[in-house]
Amino acid sequence: MRERKDSEPAIATGTPVGVVGAGTMGIGVAQCFAEAGYPVVVVDPDPAALGTGPARLRAGVRMAQLLRRRSSASTGAGARAGAGARAGAGAGAGARAGAGAGAGTDADSGTDSGRGTGAGGGTPAPSSPSPEARVVWSEKLSDLAPAFFVVECAREKVPIKEEILRQLDQVCGPETVFASCTSCIPITRLGSFTGRPDRVIGTHFMNPAPLKDAVEVIRAPGTSEGTVRRTVDLLAEIGKQALVVRDAPGFVTNRVLMLTLNEAATVLGEGTADAETVDRIFQDCFGHPMGPLRTADLIGLDTVLDSLEVLREFTGDERFRPCALLARHVAEGSVGRKSGRGFYQYPEQRQRPEHHLVSRGGASHG
């Protein structure tokens, strides 16, 4: 059993984390928990989404491991170079630097077969199950009955999330926390669909979830202290930093970002600049690692459109009305990287926009 904190109930070893939605974000969230040693149950009603889920998870795990090895190698080379330079100033200092570098490398390896290895840098010990082996796939929400924490990653539509949360409320035990990966919908509204608003919280993972260190955590007025504590602690165990904000439409991230993406698409549509120039201005002038149009393609233009419509509904602010170019791309099925075409073309991507009900809106922003 995990150690009890105040009035928080103890959690039995082997109790799974639930993920609703086998889209881009759902798969990424499942990977984060599985890499940290948690058993995971992923639910999606679409057989096609479940059929491709294991392969997409394996690809995500391989990519994350490759990037981490490259990062570790780069860090190690920098440490060795620094140690060599310092060695010229004194053998004792160089020896201490070498010992420190070795300790850091061992700590970062995260070879722990149990929970809490951290998705940010650790990999399970060779004797432990692979992340893929820790994930179970299902079409039935009832299979989430034993879960102590469920992350909902459904499309950004209130009726869809309402249906899921109402069903989860009937299926899961009273102590289960429901964490929504919504990018815009107020958590107060989502909590109202359950009989446990005190155990409903927002966990806005960024895309790609396994490679992003921070999660925007949204606390509604009715969210309990215990729910916030459990969420923050659990995120820490999988290597994520929780940035807690108050409940509001779009929270901090998308209240600001969606306006930027929509305006970038507007100036592109008006012919002020081409897509590459728009993005280069943000990268070269402002130091952003990715411009707004490529960011929109990564999120999914359909998800951007849904988010803007939700923000317009909940704020009443016409600034969130989707621009004509964005709406046209979505209507034509050119929804970004996942379809192979958006504001840019991605010939390496399969032409497979996600039409299944739950997971289509799973992609969140990075």
């926009």: which residue's tokens? 353
- Contacts of residue 67, defined as CB under 8 A and 6 or more positions apart, other chains included, come to 211
Is residue 72 a contact partner of residue 80, using CB atoms and an 8 Å limit?
no
For residue 299, give both structure tokens. Answer: 């999120």
Backbone angles phi, psi at 99, to 5 degrees: -65, -40
**In what side-by-side order are the strands of the sheet with 17-20?**
135-138, 40-43, 17-20, 149-152, 177-180, 200-205, 214-219, 241-246
Residue 140, Cβ neighbours under 10 Å: how many? 11
For residue 99, give both structure tokens. Answer: 């010992």
What is the DSSP secondary-structure string of 105-135? Answer: HHHHH---SSS---TTT----TTSPPTGGGE
Which residue in 212, 235, 254, 197 sits closest to 25, CA to CA? 212
Burial of 52 (0-12, 13-18, 19+ CB in 10 A): middle
């921070």: which residue's tokens? 214
SS3 103: helix
Residue 204 among the catalytic residues:
yes
List the catalytic residue out of 204, 329, 356, 365: 204
Rounded Cα distance between 306 and 304, Å, is 5
Which residue in 279, 259, 277, 212 sits closest to 240, CA to CA? 212
Backbone angles phi, psi at 26, to 5 degrees: -60, -45
Rounded Cα distance between 88 and 84, Å, is 7
Q: Which residues are catalytic?
A: 204
